[in-house]
Amino acid sequence: MDAQFISYISVILPIKWDGEVFYGINSEQRQSLAPGCWVEVSFGKRTLQAVVRRILEWKDLPYHNLEIKSIGKVLEKSPVSAREIRFWNTVAGYYLCSVGEVFKAAYPILTLRQQEVASHRKPEDILLSVKDIVDDITLSAAQQKAYEQIKEHLESKTVLLEGVTGSGKTEIYIKLIDECMAEGKDALYLVPEIAMSNQLTQRLKNHFGQRLLCYHSGISMATKKLIRQVLTFKGTEECQKKPVVVLGTRSSVFLPFENLGLTIVDEEHDQSYKQEDPSPRYNGRDAALLLAQMHGAKVLLGSATPSFESLYNFYTRKFARVLLTEKYFQAPPPEVTVIDTLWTRRSRQMKGSFSQQLLNMIEKTIAEKKQVLVFRSIRSYSPVVECSSCGEALKCPHCNVPLSYHRYDNTLRCHYCEYKAPYSPVCPSCKEEALQLRGAGTEKIEEELRELFPNASVARYDADIAKSKKDSEKVLSDFASGKTDILVGTQMTSKGFDFKGLALVAVIQADTILSQQDFRADEKAMQLFIQLLGRSGRRREQGKLVIQTNQKNHPVIKELLSLYSPDKADGAMMAERSMYCFPPFVRLINIILRDKNYHRLETSASSLANVLKSSRAFCAMEVSGPFTPRLEKLRDEYQLCISVKFAKDARLAQNKAQLKKVIDLVKLPVQVILDVDPS
């Protein structure tokens, strides 16, 4: 026992570490420390901020033969609550990662090399300046009926609000938040992307004023810190009676709520809720359900195209479902037109990327002073650059994917690792000046439309435009105000936007969407088409969706055309998932192995697969692989995948934990990533 220490602490470090780390504390430090307090510690060559997990005596240490360091100092920061730590542990257990990785996601800036940020605003100033709001939301008859049904079920179940786009789900959300805050409780309003948050902010600000706190990766660290202070601020009794609503993206689930009463997850089906990298690879919707459960808070999920997971939870009676099938402005059902591009090419009715039929519809729409959205799922000018002499297609030197050509800065780019190189028409393989641009991305579509409609105002909204907040806001505001006739966009334009003048949405080269190799591909395609369908006809007029495709008889297209029987529309796809044992009927875990040496990776993957297939430590329905994922190589690392399916029964948590133990015991010389519930 070291005489300088009176007690010891176990801490949570913001690193990938499953074991406990112990430090010694003196008598003065012991008086000011409790679980949840912040301390500065040395770990290896790094100085980190850590959170006290527990305090213990020398006799309670799991080992006594190693030297234990002292902490650096006790930090004056608001303690992390026991409920927060319990939430971290729950997320870590579910997603098979360390609690330290969840801690790092909750508090991303934790190294002391970076200065603490401070805001000129104080939490008490925000809370005391908040005025009481007036409950001034007027609902239509259809909204009122849906609202009453939601209220009826919310006390006992999570509610899935399946409302067609333009039906006015937001008004119902606001009314429910008002009631939550009237009870003195905070509300969390989740959206999948920053672009949706930005669009909603002003609308909600007009209603909630300073009660609205916006939280996402685009705000400053000072603002993030201030929001945390507001949520944990004790202060006066008057401040405690001032509840707030947080509008945020998935990371908002890690905010230190102390009095959460309602959680709303809008566009709950959206894949952007899933964190792909780094760990924890959590789904914001599902994490929000765990958080609400810990707080005893009510949960409402909203979507025009619910995820199969949520529909399954409804069918198994875990969720209640409320339908809102009537648009707020009572617009007639939308019109869907499918154009067979195989036939139009043969009959020479194509002009670049556009069929003559679609061009006629665009021209008519513009002549009527209405607007058009042209959707293309790929940004860039050309997604493929190929040599006409040797046939070589240029690929990223770090990822096994084609390089895209961007004309605006004359570069070749990888959309996965952001590798960039200047474009030259000379082929790097055969040295002939024979490189040709294949295919059309949003940039080329925009150029074609400017040539086809020289008198129209054409703009583009994709990730390249969104890099600039100023450009992004201008493009969206110009289209919303009617200054722009035609907007070319990617998936970013399909989510939540309300453009009152938009009458026609056209999907170009839909085969890119329909040909994805993924068990969720058809579900995602259907959701995307329905979301796009909902962007038009937002007022009293009929919306129109045009799909140009080589696959007019694709199952998704057929189901889309019979859309207006929702249960029938998702029935065939759900039945197929059940038949082949895919989520939501089973729990799927992907084990991704990465290494720069392919031979070592292949050997390791085969070895692990053999161990898992023969292991009796857990009970899996199926272990398959190793197989090559869609991206064989990413950022200079090769990838192989093993998938494990578990039954959704009482043994699930135990089976998952045992799976992780088996993998850890194998001790492979390659990187191993566990992805629970892959998107």
Whether 274 and 309 have beta carbons less than 8 Å apart is answered as no
The yes-or-no verdict on residue 569 having pLDDT over 60 is no
248-265 pLDDT, tens per residue?
999 999 999 989 999 999
Q: What is the pLDDT of residues 326-349, one digit of tens each?
A: 776 566 777 899 999 999 999 999
Structure tokens at 233: 């601020």
In tens, the pLDDT along 362-373 reads 999 999 999 999
State the pLDDT confidence band at 12, using cuts at 50, 70 and 90: very high
User: Mean per-residue pLDDT for 46-68?
Assistant: 87
Is the predicted pLDDT of residue 111 greater than 60, yes or no? Answer: no
| pLDDT band at 496; cut points 50, 70, 90 | low
What's the average model confidence in pLDDT over 441-465? Answer: 95
> For residue 343, what are the CA distances in angstroms to 260, 347, 552, 556, 560?
56, 6, 10, 20, 21
pTM listed for this prediction: 0.91
Per-residue confidence (pLDDT) for residue 567, from 0 to 100: 47
pLDDT at residue 234, as a whole number: 55
Query: What distance in Å separates the CA atoms of residue 588 and residue 274, rounded to the nearest whole number?
Result: 14
Task: Kindly state the tokens that stand for 580.
Answer: 């082949």
Mean pLDDT of the chain, nearest integer: 90
pLDDT, one tens digit per residue, over 376-413 is 999 999 999 999 999 999 999 999 899 999 999 999 99
- Confidence at residue 164, expressed as pLDDT on a 0 to 100 scale: 84
- The SS3 call for residue 486 is strand
218-251 per-position pLDDT tens digit: 888 888 888 888 888 756 566 666 889 999 999 9
The pLDDT-based confidence of 116 (bands split at 50, 70, 90) is: low
> Is the predicted pLDDT of residue 468 greater than 70, yes or no?
yes
pLDDT of 110? 59
Token pair of 112, please?
Answer: 């002391």
Percentage of the chain exceeding pLDDT 70: 92
Residue 297 pLDDT greater than 60, yes or no: yes
pLDDT at 364 (0 to 100) = 96
What is the per-residue pLDDT for 291? 97
Q: Please state the rounded mean pLDDT for residues 271-300.
A: 96
Question: What pLDDT, on the 0 to 100 scale, is given for residue 129?
Answer: 64
Instruction: Give the pLDDT of residue 112.
Output: 43
Q: Which residue has the tokens 């334009």?
A: 493
155/66 Cα distance (integer angstroms) = 52
Question: Which two tokens mark 563?
Answer: 């859309």
State the average pLDDT over residues 584-605.
Answer: 97
Q: What are the tens digits of pLDDT across the range 537-562?
A: 666 677 899 999 999 999 999 988 88
Residue 566 has pLDDT above 60, yes or no: no
Closest CA to 416 of 536, 276, 528: 276
Average pLDDT over residues 588-613: 97
> For residue 137, what pLDDT is reported?
83
Q: Are strands 371-375 and 486-489 parallel, antiparallel or unpaired?
A: parallel
Q: Out of 122-136, 189-203, 230-244, 630-644, which region has the weakest mean confidence (pLDDT)?
A: 122-136
* CB distance 639 to 627 below 8 Å: no
Strand partners, 436: 386
Under the banding of pLDDT at 50, 70 and 90, the label for residue 466 is confident
